[in-house]
Chains A and B, each alone.
Chain A
Amino acid sequence: MQDHFNYIIVGGGVSGSIIAEGLVAKGHSVLMLEAGKFFYTNNYPRFDIDSNSQMYWNGGVELTSDAEIGLVRPKMIGGGSIINGGLLDRFDDLAFEGFKDESGVDFFNNLVMTPWFEKVENTTSIVKVPEKFANKNADIFREGFKANGFRCDLLDRGQTDCRNSEGMDCIECLAGCPINSKQSTMITYVRSALKQGLKVFSEFEVKRIEPGEKVKVHGLDRLDKKWSFSADKLVLASGSIGNSKLLMNSNFKNPNIGKRFYTHPQYMLMAEFDYNIDAYKGPLQSYKSNDLNFRRKGFKLENVFAPPAAMSVLFKGIQDEHFYCMKNLRRFASIEVAIRDTNPGEIRVGKHNKTIVHKELDSVDLKRRDLGYDAIKNIFYSQGAKRVIEGEFGIGLHLMGGCSIGVDGSQSVVDPEFKLHDQKNIFCADSSIFPNAPGINPSLTIMALSKMAVEKFI
Chain B
Amino acid sequence: MKSKYLNSFAMRGLQKCGDVYIPGDDELCSFSKSGFIKYIDRQLENMESDDIFGLNILLGVFSLFPQKLLVIILKIASRNEKLAKSLRPTARLINMGLKGLSCSLYYSGLESLDSSHPRVMEKMNWSPQRLESIDDKELSDLIQSNDFNATL
Contact = CB atoms under 8 A, between A and B. Distances in A.
Q: Do A and B bind each other?
A: yes
19 contacts: A40-B139, A41-B139, A42-B139, A44-B133, A50-B42, A52-B104, A53-B43, A66-B88, A66-B89, A67-B96, A167-B131, A168-B129, A168-B130, A308-B109, A308-B121, A312-B100, A326-B22, A351-B50, A352-B49
Contact of B48 (A61, A280, A354): A354
User: Counting chain A CB atoms within 10 Å of each CB, which of B130, B139, B152 scores highest?
Assistant: B130
A156 interface: no
Interface in B86-145: 88-90, 92-93, 95-96, 99-100, 103-110, 121, 124-126, 128-136, 138-140, 142-143
A272 B119 CA distance: 24
Contacts of B139: 40-42, 186, 191, 194
A163 interface: yes
Task: Summarize B's interface: helix, strand, loop or mixed.
Answer: helix
Contact of A53 (B21, B47, B96): B47
User: Counting chain A CB atoms within 10 Å of each CB, which of B25, B42, B75, B149 scores highest?
Assistant: B149
B108 to A, nearest CB: 4
B48 A309 contact: no
What interface size band does chain A fall in?
35 or more
Interface of B: 20-25, 27-28, 39, 42-51, 71, 74-75, 78, 88-90, 92-93, 95-96, 99-100, 103-110, 121, 124-126, 128-136, 138-140, 142-143, 146-149, 151-152
B44 A53 contact: yes
A379 interface: no
A207 B152 CA distance: 19
A222 B149 contact: yes
A317 interface: yes
A202 interface: yes
Interface string A50-64: 101110001111010
A111 interface: no
A316 interface: yes
A312 to B, nearest CB: 3
Contacts of A54: 45-46
Given A48-B107, A198-B146, A313-B99, 5 more contacts: A169-B130, A171-B128, A172-B130, A179-B134, A354-B48
A296 interface: no
A369 to B, nearest CB: 14
A263 B143 CA distance: 33
